[in-house]
Amino acid sequence: MKTKYTLAIHGGAGAIPPTIPEDQKKQYLEALEKILKYGNNLLKKGETALRTVELVVNKFEDCPLFNCGKGSVFTYDGGHSMDASIMDGRNRECGAVTGITRIKHPISLANDVMINSKYVFLNGKGAEEFAKELGYKFKNQKYFDTEKRYEQWKRVQGSDETALDHNSEFAAAPKGTVGAVALDIHGDLAATTSTGGMTNKKWDRIGDSPIIGAGTFADNSSCAISSTGEGEEFIKNVVAFDVHALIMYKGLSLKEASEHVINKVLKKGIGGLIAVDKDGNYSLPYNTLGMYRGVATSKGVFKVNIWE
């Protein structure tokens, strides 16, 4: 029986300077460590990669520190609108949702789109009708409010500013999109990404996180990927699929392919990704000041980090 597994997680890339307050650093590292430990135990016990990455993202969605589920950023209108996607490396089955406003665990709804519908991508009202049919409990929008995200939004409320405006001071606001990718002991890969998107986003803007091939991708023949950063650039460059394509068609290693896309294809300061391949190798490159991330393997690697 095979015993090799690898889990990589991220809690967002962005302008996270090494000078952030010690207590903030500690809070994030502790949260990452706890979530990584939880996922590591699941994989160790033989849980599938698919179920593990969903459950790991549920933990992130419950944690107010990260920009997904409970800690989602505020939109231009002062609400919350979440996006998520999941992909199964065994068969390229996938599910995605966008514009989710009242579901606690958008990643689980994406998983249900994959498993319990004939579609792969559902939007807003329709996605929530589907959730209702499946018996999901609905949260009040207030549930997703957090003090920190409210303050971030207040600074730009009423303006057109988002983190996409590089000249604005606001570009440096903490991010926090999350993702998890894994290889399980059965030799299967899976990937997930979940987000509240960009603070002050307008007109039902959708980023890369729910877009298969940009924010999320998994195929047992190559790797599993979850992206984080400026979604528009990840969509234009089809980032997650590009890593897969470089491995498949050019024979690059996971490290070479993922570093090429982050450092050569994307402009500096745009974001990062986490990747695990079919042999259990991992790569966590980013081109921003920092990225909240972690990795655990069956060989005993267990680390969380923001820089390096």
| Active centre residues (catalytic) | 177
Per CB under 6 A, 89 contacts ligand ASP: no
Give 110 or 198: the residue with its C-beta nearer to ligand ASP: 198
Per CB under 6 A, 228 contacts ligand ASP: yes
Give 106 or 229: the residue with its C-beta nearer to ligand ASP: 229
- Is-contact 260 252, C-beta < 8 A? yes
Q: Distance from CA of residue 44 to its chain's centroid?
A: 22
Per CB under 6 A, 177 contacts ligand ASP: yes
What b/e readout covers 267-287, taking b as 16+ CB neighbours within 10 angstroms?
Answer: eebbbbbbbbbbebebbbbbb
Q: Distance from CA of residue 169 to its chain's centroid?
A: 24
Q: Is 288 helix (H, G, I), strand (E, B) or coil?
A: coil
Query: Residue 77 and residue 260: Cα distance in Å, rounded?
Result: 38
Q: Which amino acid is at 10?
A: H
- Is-contact 228 284, C-beta < 8 A? no
Per CB under 6 A, 68 contacts ligand ASP: no
Per CB under 6 A, 54 contacts ligand ASP: no
Per CB under 6 A, 208 contacts ligand ASP: yes
User: According to CB under 6 A, which one of 207, 213, 280, 294 is a site residue for ligand ASP?
Assistant: 207
Per CB under 6 A, 11 contacts ligand ASP: no
Per CB under 6 A, 85 contacts ligand ASP: no
User: According to CB under 6 A, which one of 50, 127, 198, 270 is a site residue for ligand ASP?
Assistant: 198
Binding site for ligand ASP (CB under 6 A): 12, 175, 177, 195, 197-198, 207-209, 228-229, 231
